[in-house]
Amino acid sequence: MKIAVIGAGAMGCLYGAYLSQSHDVYMIDALPEQVNAINNHGITVSEEDGRQQNYPNVVAYLSGQCPQVVDLIIIFVKSTYTEHALAQNHHLFKPSTIVMTLQNGAGNDRKISQYIAPENIIIGTSKHNVVNLGNGCINHSGSGVTNIGSNYEATPLMTKVSDLLTQAGFEINVANDIQRIIWSKLLVNLSVNTFTAITMTPIGYMIKNDSAWDFAKRLIYEAIEVAEADGTYFDRREALEMVKDVCIKAEDGYSSMYQDRKRRVKMEIDAINGAIVEQAKQYGVPTPYNTLIVALIHAIEGAYDLYD
């Protein structure tokens, strides 16, 4: 199968590397140095047990320059760049192309539906923790399940993609309640990602400090109010335990938003906490804490040029 991975960052490289063992994989990215490194040296994955493995059977292209028409597209760009990346790479699509988004945030499937029939879109989440070391090298610091599903009834496409990912070495759960799972991931990201980006701390610190955990709870409770207004219900105690569990399992890892701030690039706040704020407006739900956090993260981005 011909597979294009749009976004050759940490997560994109992990999925591209594993899939390249049995399929033709094309990594697509906007950074020339990353594209050149992958073409020259492949993708190198440092696993959590200390093993290091190189995956040389990948070809990388700058965004918009891949000449292939592919069977499957996996989107891993930051949510804020989704529409731009799709427009640049629209020639990859054919009517039967399957598109899977495992991106953070909400609403990515609506953007993708401009380019492919909605029934060909698979949405999901990944619980892997990966750090981008640059030059085609990643540190795979934590493994977890990949949840996939659709807004439509299960189709042979879902089975096809599930089998594909399972054969590549991923643990797959085909979910009937994918929207609930996406909301759950959003609860994790809107607390963990934002907190670690602001404080520049490992993921586990958020549950080790009372003030930090109080910060997280305020954001989570607001988001649950929005989720319930949208038709997805959560037990608040269970939601907090879910976030705690993530912090325990990925204690020494670093969130994607932390990594973005460290590299002084635009963070995904608008697709995470910002998505909560925008959806809340539809239902008249107040979100003062998430609104404040969105403004704070944008203020931090605006100060990048002030750093030494």
In whole angstroms, give the CA distance from residue 12 to residue 45. 12
Per-residue pLDDT for 79 more than 80? no
Compute the distance between CA of residue 11 and CA of residue 253 in angstroms, rounded to an integer: 14
Structure confidence at residue 20 as a pLDDT band (50, 70, 90): very high
Q: Which residue has the higher pLDDT, 127 or 207?
A: 207
Q: Are 182 and 188 in contact (CB under 8 A)?
A: no
- Statement: residue 142 has pLDDT above 90: no
**What are the structure tokens assigned to 149, written together?**
């599903």
The half-sphere exposure of 272 on its side-chain side, counting CA atoms within 13 A, is 29
> Tokens 């495992």 correspond to what residue?
102
**In terms of residues, how long is the chain?**
308
Output the pLDDT for position 305: 87
Domains, the chain, in order of start with CATH, read: 2-174 (3.40.50.720), 178-306 (1.10.1040.10)
Task: Return phi, psi of residue 152, to 5°.
Answer: -115, 170
Span 93-132, pLDDT tens digits? 999 999 999 987 767 788 898 889 889 999 998 989 898 9
Model pLDDT, residue 41: 97
Whole-prediction pTM: 0.77
